[in-house]
Chain A
Amino acid sequence: MIQENQDNFNPFDPTGILKTIRDANMETWSKMMIESVNTDAYARVTAEMLDAWLSNSAPFRKAIEAAMTKALGNVNMPSRAEVISLAERLTNIEMRLDDMEAKLDESLRAPRKNGAASKHRSRGEEGSK
């Protein structure tokens, strides 16, 4: 049976039902959830859960890391730590190149600046003559 009414409620449209429920409850639900996540109890519980998970997963993470490092070494491949170290060195090189570029820019701009300043000076002198 289709029920037609003033607010076009259609029982065969699941989204329509959902919308009606939502409209009635959403704001209250939202306020309640915002209030509950904004409490010290929520903060403490989530922090403790996270802490427990980190503690429990640490031995597995370490075991996987050690096994992977060993496996990579066995096939003559660099470990994750070695690749990271290489990337860090590349970043340092990039910074030095950037410093050199800055100095080059500066030295290229200096003659222009000096030239402009001396032109300005000589014009001033000519003007005074």
Chain B
Amino acid sequence: MTTTEMRTPTLAELSAELLKIYEKSKTFNRLVTTDAKIAQTPKTLVWTLNKAKLYRYVPVVPEEQRHKLPLLMVFAIMNRPHVLDLRPGHSFVEYMLRHGYDLYLLDWGAPGPEDRNLQFDDYTLEYLPRVVRKIKALSGSERLNMLGWCLGALISTMYACLRPNDGLESLVLLTAPLDFTDKKSSGFIRWTSNQAFDPDRLVDAFGNMPGEMIDYGAKALKPVENFVGSYLNLWDNIDNPKVVESWHAMNTWVREIIPMAGGAYRQLVNEFYKENRLMTGKLVLRGEPVDLGQLKAKLLNVIAEGDHITPPCQSEGIMDRIGSQDKEVFRVRGGHIGIMAGSGAERTTWPHIENWLAARSH
């Protein structure tokens, strides 16, 4: 540090500085405690079952210019899917609509105490087939494409294995947690694979896995970035409307915490994280063995290279096991959410997914 000049501050300078800090604090407080308007793209509710809702987005291009095959987006079961349509001007949904897709979104909703026994069996074989049936009825197409993200990708993969003749043409997997062979690849798998960790006791106590605990777990993987860095970054850039708008939208989505159905959480930890049943061919859903070789749909596997929630090794292992002839791995620099919602997504991930799907949507 080189001192060039030392002088006494005037009272006016000090009060101006304090006023600036006060104004920044007010803005900061507003951004941290209020919700931005997210998920604004117009859509119609076309089907509901229990807490699950299926939406169809209002198309923005004429029918004759649209792709023939509808696209269903399946998000994770412990977050709201609004991150796919984060804010006007920066939304994957908007992007795909502009490129002529007939777009559907499955929102699993927040499970209540009565849903504590819901399992992946139910999501995969009870809900998803009904959603597919509804989309076929609405679109008039017997075939469709699917995009699954995080646990939504796990559900989509299992569905594709169990119902290979249900009309699924192409499957896009985003940061899919499928292969839990490496028990030291990330914090999550270390924590849940530890012998002292008993998910059954948690579920017995709470019914559903509280959203706050899931949120804490996800943030604790990168504690400094999530509990400190994110807020300091906002403070530093509080005069930059672009950064502020983006931060506010993302924070709104992050704050929207929902629980995870107890049965599904128990199954995720025991059958997937601890026993790796999908990859070892021992997974059985409602009496049906899940065989990765039965996955025949065309597959695009999008992997985030900097993913600390689903490290790349958890997604890439399936490529040699699946029965698809047309398959591709697409590696993107970025994190679990950043590859789809970050500022670079519109230049990297979205166009690649769109181009890949466009070639397979006739």
Tell me the A residues contacting B by CB distance below 8 Å.
Answer: 1-7, 9-10, 12-15, 18-19, 22, 26, 29-30, 33-34, 37-40, 42-44, 46-48, 50-51, 54, 57-58, 61, 80, 84-85, 87-88, 91, 94-95, 98, 102, 105, 109
Give the distance in Å from the alpha carbon of A91 to the alpha carbon of B5 in the complex. 74
Assess whether A5 is in contact with B232, with CB atoms less than 8 Å apart.
no
* B6 interface residue per 8 A CB criterion: yes
Assess whether B187 is in contact with A38, with CB atoms less than 8 Å apart.
yes
Name which residue of chain B comes closest to A18, CB basis: B232
Q: B interface, how many residues as a size bin?
A: 35 or more
Contact A38/B186 with A44-B196, A54-B205, A58-B205 known, Cβ cut-off 8 Å:
yes
Q: Which of B196, B224, B235 contacts A30 (CB 8 A)?
A: B224
Q: Which of A2, A26, A44, A102 contacts B9 (CB 8 A)?
A: A2
Name which residue of chain B comes closest to A22, CB basis: B232
Q: Provide the residues of chain B in CB contact with A40, threshold 8 Å.
A: 190, 194
Assess whether B21 is in contact with A13, with CB atoms less than 8 Å apart.
yes
Question: Assuming A38-B187, A57-B205, what are 11 further A-B pairs, CB within 8 angstroms?
Answer: A1-B7, A7-B1, A9-B1, A12-B14, A30-B222, A30-B224, A34-B308, A40-B190, A43-B190, A51-B201, A54-B202
Give the distance in Å from the alpha carbon of A54 to the alpha carbon of B204 in the complex. 10
Sorted nearest first, the 4 A-B pairs with minimum C-beta distance are A87-B114, A47-B196, A47-B197, A30-B224
Q: Provide the residues of chain B in CB contact with A44, threshold 8 Å.
A: 194, 196
Q: Provide the residues of chain A in CB contact with B356, threshold 8 Å.
A: none
Give the distance in Å from the alpha carbon of A76 to the alpha carbon of B9 in the complex. 71
* B344 interface residue per 8 A CB criterion: no
Assess whether B190 is in contact with A2, with CB atoms less than 8 Å apart.
no
Q: Which of A3, A5, A15 contacts B235 (CB 8 A)?
A: A15
Name which residue of chain A comes closest to B186, CB basis: A38
Assess whether A4 is in contact with B49, with CB atoms less than 8 Å apart.
no
Q: Provide the residues of chain A in CB contact with B198, threshold 8 Å.
A: 47, 51
Assess whether A12 is in contact with B114, with CB atoms less than 8 Å apart.
no
> Hey, what's the 0/1 contact readout for B5-46 against A, CB within 8 Å counting as 1?
111110001100100010010000000000000000000000
* B164 interface residue per 8 A CB criterion: no
Q: Provide the residues of chain A in CB contact with B186, threshold 8 Å.
A: 38
Q: Provide the residues of chain B in CB contact with A80, threshold 8 Å.
A: 113
Assess whether B223 is in contact with A95, with CB atoms less than 8 Å apart.
no
Give the distance in Å from the alpha carbon of A29 to the alpha carbon of B49 in the complex. 46
Q: Provide the residues of chain A in CB contact with B21, threshold 8 Å.
A: 13-15
Assess whether A1 is in contact with B196, with CB atoms less than 8 Å apart.
no
Give the distance in Å from the alpha carbon of A58 to the alpha carbon of B198 in the complex. 15
Name which residue of chain B comes closest to A89, CB basis: B114
* B321 interface residue per 8 A CB criterion: no
Contact A102/B221 with A2-B7, A87-B114 known, Cβ cut-off 8 Å:
no
Q: Provide the residues of chain A in CB contact with B235, threshold 8 Å.
A: 15
Q: Provide the residues of chain A in CB contact with B2, threshold 8 Å.
A: 5-6
* B330 interface residue per 8 A CB criterion: no
Give the distance in Å from the alpha carbon of A43 to the alpha carbon of B191 in the complex. 5
In the assembled complex, the CB of B129 is this many whole angstroms from the nearest CB of chain A, namely: 10
Assess whether A94 is in contact with B191, with CB atoms less than 8 Å apart.
no
* B137 interface residue per 8 A CB criterion: yes
In the assembled complex, the CB of A8 is this many whole angstroms from the nearest CB of chain B, namely: 11
What are 28 of the A-B contact pairs (CB < 8 Å)?
A1-B6, A2-B7, A3-B3, A5-B2, A12-B14, A12-B17, A19-B232, A26-B224, A26-B229, A33-B222, A34-B222, A34-B224, A40-B190, A42-B190, A42-B191, A43-B191, A46-B191, A47-B198, A48-B196, A50-B197, A51-B198, A54-B201, A54-B202, A57-B205, A87-B114, A91-B114, A94-B50, A98-B130
